[in-house]
Homo-oligomer: A and B are copies of this chain.
Amino acid sequence: MDLSFTPEEVAFRQELRTFFTTAIPQSIRTKVLEGQHLTKEEIITAQRILNANGLAVPNWPVEWGGKDWSPVQVYIYQDEMQLNGVPSPLAFNTSMVGPVIAQFGTDAQKKRYLAEAANLDVWWCQGFSEPGAGSDLASLRTKAERVGDTWVINGQKTWTTLAQHADWIFVLCRTDPTAKKQEGISFILADMKTPGITRRPIQTIDGGHEVNEIFFDNVVVPAENLVGELHRGWDCAKFLLGNERTGIARVGTSKARLKRIRELAALEFEGGTPLIESEKFREKLAAVEIELKALEMTQLRIVADEKNHAKGKPNPASSILKLKGSTIQQATTELMMEIVGPYVMPFAESDEGDGRNETGYGPEYAAGTGPTYFNWRKISIYGGSNEIQRNIVAKAILGF
């Protein structure tokens, strides 16, 4: 047992850090660290730099650009990206549809889709959630009917993140309406330009437009767009959702934010004294730091323990990463608001007319504080709400 990183791991971290801090434009990294939103172009730029250097899809099979890293290396990669404000490669491409195609797709599908997904030549979005199916994903009703050599899709998806930028969508559709809930679902790809697909932006309470509703009205796609076995799309969904075991805790992101909070708290005053000199504020900050340290150690323990768990049978502690990680991320948003005090109030719409609060009054770091607090409430809702995570752990430890 040796809980320090090996010299090789330290060197690996240093190498990545050097690359990230020199190759990825500072302007992009600063926006990420300040919690500001990136443009489509910035996201694409960053991912293509990563991809050109073989760092966009390390989790994929080596054949398709993956790295075959140890779990500790994957952890270091994610940690360093988050610490240095490097935008994560678009999850819909690299953690979701890519791995699913690599695992379940045909050779033709792999050839057609994987390389361009890795390079973000094609932007994917996720058609899973529906208005009536939130935490109960399997109750989805969007259906795909086989008509000749095509699928005809009808239905509605929602919470489709960044669909406004997307070229393609992967959709969970009910293909056998007579089967039991989780059976009879298939995983189908669709070009967003297909006639019958329309999108409606949803404005979220932070003022931004990040998610969308997608309507399918007799959308016809080729039969070959089915990924994996017919009616076995739930396997793809489960694989996809269980795919990202580390990283979900976003430890690196929270580390970077806590560092930033410490810096900013020196710039704001109460009674003529910098906030960072308030014992109370420092203790609140320390309490979150301790939670984050515990989470980081827990994540490392889970990473190290992965070899003892069969694939697809995650350690029940994995759900703790989501639970604690979300709580900590949300706590950082509260500390940020606390720093700016009354300056959390102004809401100045950005010039882009997308409803975001970009400029603001008072210190420049104030503008993002309120919207990020509001927006990040989603972290305990999406990706399996914290209630669902608790149900999962309860099942694992109690058997009920």
Interface residues of chain A, those whose CB is within 8 Å of chain B, are: 279-280, 283
Distance from A111 Cβ to chain B, minimum over Cβ atoms (Å): 54
Kindly list chain B residues whose C-beta atoms are within 8 Å of the C-beta of A280: 279-280, 283
- Ranked 4 nearest A-B pairs via Cβ: A279-B279, A279-B280, A280-B283, A280-B280
CB distance from A328 to the nearest CB of B (A): 22
Per the bound structure, the CA–CA distance linking A283 and B281 in Å amounts to: 13
Quick one: copies of this chain in the complex? 2
How many Å from the CB of A270 to the closest CB on chain B?
13
Return chain B residues, CB-CB under 8 Å to A283: 280
Q: In the assembly, what is the distance between CA of A283 and CA of B283, in Å? A: 13
**CA of A279 to CA of B278, assembled, Å:** 11
Output the nearest chain B residue to A279 by Cβ-Cβ distance: B279
4 contacts between A and B (CB under 8 A): A279-B279, A279-B280, A280-B280, A280-B283
Closest to A283 in B: B280
Tell me, rounded to whole Å, the shortest Cβ–Cβ distance linking A277 to chain B: 13
A361 to B283, CA, bound (A): 32
Shortest distance in angstroms between A338's beta carbon and chain B's nearest beta carbon? 15
Q: In the complex, what residues of B have CB within 8 A of residue A279's CB?
A: 279-280
Roughly how many angstroms separate A279 CA and B283 CA in the complex, as a whole number? 12
Complex Cα gap A283–B280 (Å) = 9
Cα distance A279–B280 when bound, in Å? 8
Q: Roughly how many angstroms separate A279 CA and B282 CA in the complex, as a whole number?
A: 13
Nearest-Cβ distance from residue A39 to partner chain B, whole angstroms = 44
Please report the C-alpha to C-alpha distance between residue A280 and residue B280 in the assembled complex, in whole angstroms: 7
CA distance A368 to B65 in the complex (A): 67
A280 CA to B278 CA, complexed, in Å: 11
Q: Give, as a whole number of angstroms, the nearest-CB distance from A271 to chain B.
A: 13
CA distance A280 to B279 in the complex (A): 8
A30 to B351, CA, bound (A): 69
**Nearest CB on B from A191, distance (A):** 45
A278 to chain B: closest residue by CB: B279
A280 to B286, CA, bound (A): 14
> When chains A and B are docked, how far (Å) is the Cα of A280 from the Cα of B283?
9
Complex Cα–Cα for A291 and B14 (A): 51
Smallest CB separation, A20 vs chain B (Å): 40
- A238 CB, min distance to chain B CBs, angstroms: 31
Q: How far is the CB of A355 from chain B (nearest CB, A)?
A: 35
**Within the complex, what minimum Cβ distance (angstroms) separates A90 from chain B?**
41
